[in-house]
Amino acid sequence: MNSVTTRFAPSPTGHLHVGNIRTALHNWLLAKQAGGRFLLRIDDTDSERSREHFVDAIREDLDWLGLSPDGEERQSARFDDYEREFERLAAEGRIYPCYETPQELELRRKVLLGRGLPPIYDRAALELSEARRAELEASGTRPHWRFKLDHASPITWQDGIRGKQYFDPAQLSDPVVRRADGSWLYMLPSVIDDIAMDITDVLRGEDHVSNTATQIQMFEALGAPPPRFAHEALLTGAQGKLSKRIGSLSVSQFRADGIEPEAVVALLARIGTSDPVDPSLGLDELATSFDLTRFGRAPARFDEAELDRVNTAIVHGLGYDAVGQRLPDGMGEAGWEAIRPNIERVEQAGDWWKVVKGPVPLPPADDETRAYLAEAAVTLNEQDGGDDPWHALTGALKAATGRKGKALFLPLRQALTGRDHGPDMALMLKLIGRDEAITRLWSASGRE
């Protein structure tokens, strides 16, 4: 068994959203930081809602993020194992049948809450005689099944983020592990799988803390030591509340928005810590510095604006080899190097390449400006320009007209690109080409 083995266990009932991605990433980093293994477990016990195309999407999303697992398991292939352990626990009295209807349970819950008491299951099913159970089943009532918590001693563990945890099992309801139709709930199959997969560390959201308390007793009942547990603070939005949009942001949405996988990784790796987000760090470097003790208990803030800033920084650092296949036909390394500093998404390079290839809209100009552009066309036509035609052109125009600053440069940029701002014109002029640039200047001057 490896020193650290983690798992990511999504249900294939939808696309991975930003919270799922963060969980997967942190489990990958935790495993790789220790030289261990990261496993994917598809929790597809819910046959009614699970879909195979979501399984394919989960694999594709993890690969896109660079989080390819070291192995994969499917819960739907392990029903025999669940049945065997279920029968063993039932024979030992750790699982027992319950016959209350959902309506009866909800009524009891409301009564307890009305009295100011915690809505803990009262274990009434344990008081039923064998005869009464037989009578209920003969009438067609099928039981659901609960795991019987041991009330003898407190449940404790040292949480990797939250520190020492303490739960009084008498203040917890015995969890339902199997429905009346025979289908499984999350709790028991997950424990059985974690044992079989040699999972050493379970890193998940703080909404699972009470689940961990009951699952620790399940590990013990099955004769296995519990893994190490750590529970992260849940994500919130920039305004302190996780918006519906952020909560549903998926990898496919990130792709559609032109976000680079490195940006998602860089931001989510550091969310919940005081460490700065560093767009220059790759997965291996992030894994080296990953440390659960750096995570706080305050809500973790996810800011789409920050993701955009990180993404822009990453795009500005991407070399041509990394993006060449995503660029417009004909756009080579020189084009990418010229345009890259002025875009936030790789896909935006296509907009600037249209400027390079033309045509561009003619800017509005007065007679003086049109005369200036005509002079620029003549000057460029007469010049050799050498390796730097832009500075040769503007230097000559400055000397001939006395123009400088905005008056010198802006009309030329507008005539050559149709825009007021953009990439370095020294690079753009080379991309546009001398002959095309003369044509654009001459057209903008209004001369035939």
Does 66 have pLDDT greater than 50? yes
Helix (H) or strand (E) holding 144: strand 144-147
How far apart CA 29 and CA 143 sit, in angstroms, is: 42
Coarse DSSP helix, strand, coil percentages of the chain, rounded to the nearest 5 percent = 55, 10, 35
Does 384 have pLDDT greater than 90? no
What does the pLDDT average to over 33-53? 93
Pairing of strands 37-42, 176-178: unpaired
91-100 pLDDT, tens digit per residue, is: 999 999 999 9
Q: Look at the alpha carbons of 273, 277, 282, 285 in this order and tell me if their dihedral is positive or negative.
A: negative
What percentage of the chain has pLDDT greater than the value 90? 87
- Give the pLDDT of residue 2: 54
Please state the φ and ψ torsions of residue 200, each to the nearest 5 degrees: -100, -25
- Give the pLDDT of residue 160: 96
* 72 SS3 class: strand
Bond before 169 cis per omega within 30 degrees: no
Does 448 have pLDDT greater than 70? no
For 31-70, the three-class secondary structure string (H helix, E strand, C coil) is HHHCCCEEEEEECCCCCCCCCHHHHHHHHHHHHHHCCCCC
- How is residue 125 annotated by DSSP? G
pLDDT band for position 300 (50/70/90)? confident
Contact between 63 and 38 under an 8 Å Cβ cutoff? The reply is: no
Does 279 have pLDDT greater than 90? yes
* 15 closest CA partner among 186, 252, 178: 252
> Taking all residues of the chain, what is their mean pLDDT, rounded to a whole number?
93
What does the pLDDT average to over 190-194? 98
Does 293 have pLDDT greater than 80? yes
232-264 pLDDT, tens digit per residue, is: 998 887 666 665 566 668 888 899 999 999 999
Angle at 99 between CA 98 and CA 104, to 5 degrees: 110
pLDDT band for position 1 (50/70/90)? very low
312-337 pLDDT, tens digit per residue, is: 999 999 999 999 999 999 999 999 99
Strand partners, 204: 231
pLDDT band for position 217 (50/70/90)? very high
